[in-house]
Amino acid sequence: MKSIEIYKKKAAEKACEFIQDGMIIGMGSGSTTFYALEKIGELIRSGQLKNIAGIPSSLNTAKLAGKFGIPLTDFKNHSQIDLTLDGADEVDQYLNMIKGGGGAHLREKIVFQASKSNIVIVDKSKMSQKLGSKRPVPVEILPFAMEVESQFLESIGAKISLRKVPDGNPYITDQQNFIFDADFGIIEKPEEMDSLLNSRAGIMAHGLFVRMASEVIVAGEEGIEIYSLTT
């Protein structure tokens, strides 16, 4: 296993220590979350975790939960989540994040907003001083609004590219929308960009998660560090 995968696994397993019996768990998407789901499944099978149910943020996560034996529920049965575990593509010094590399940021944001606590798990390579240093912002677009929203994103300084699958067709989200990866460069004021993107009717969701992480667990060569909004 490559070192970066080892760090992801360590961070994910540390995050699982926050789970308690009887919790409703929000389950993110992506490679780091895979390790968390794997560990949760182990804890359930060994009897160390009981009466756990998860709300998945993507169809793929739902499949993984089934593979690892994690019972599923939904918002019809539980309108509030106790704890959400998820990864991120970039995290700044204030714990603002860019998410959506896997295309699930709309459901992920819904899960985050419904959760009492959100624990984000990353390897140290995902940390930066300011957002936009490493990753563009995924922007989920209603197909009907593709042309007008592409013009809007370019008008506010973004270099955009339509996300595609290997055969060259547009990537389609679980909600049947498109994704523009919008490169704004360094984002000096994430709160203002968040509000600006939220104001557009044709933008279904974007990958800026501003002050939504309760804790960020970071794994690297020096071990594990935990950051919170209070530190």
The pairing of strands 203-206 and 90-91 is: unpaired
- In contact, 73 and 80? CB cutoff 8 Å: no
Q: Is 128 exposed, middle or buried (0-12, 13-18, 19+ CB in 10 A)?
A: middle
What three-state secondary structure class fits 230?
A: coil
Is residue 145 helix, strand or coil?
helix
Structure tokens at 151: 């013009």
Query: Which residue among 13, 108, 140, 149 is the active-site one?
Result: 108
Q: Is 30 left (phi over 0), alpha (psi -120 to 50) or beta?
A: left
CA-angle at 79, arms to 77 and 81, nearest 5°? 105
CB atoms within 10 A of CB 144: 10
Could you give the 3-state DSSP secondary structure of residue 143? Answer: helix
Local structure of residue 156 (DSSP, 8 states): T
Is 108 noted as a catalytic residue in this protein? yes
Radius of gyration of the CA atoms of the chain, in A: 17
Catalytic residues: 108
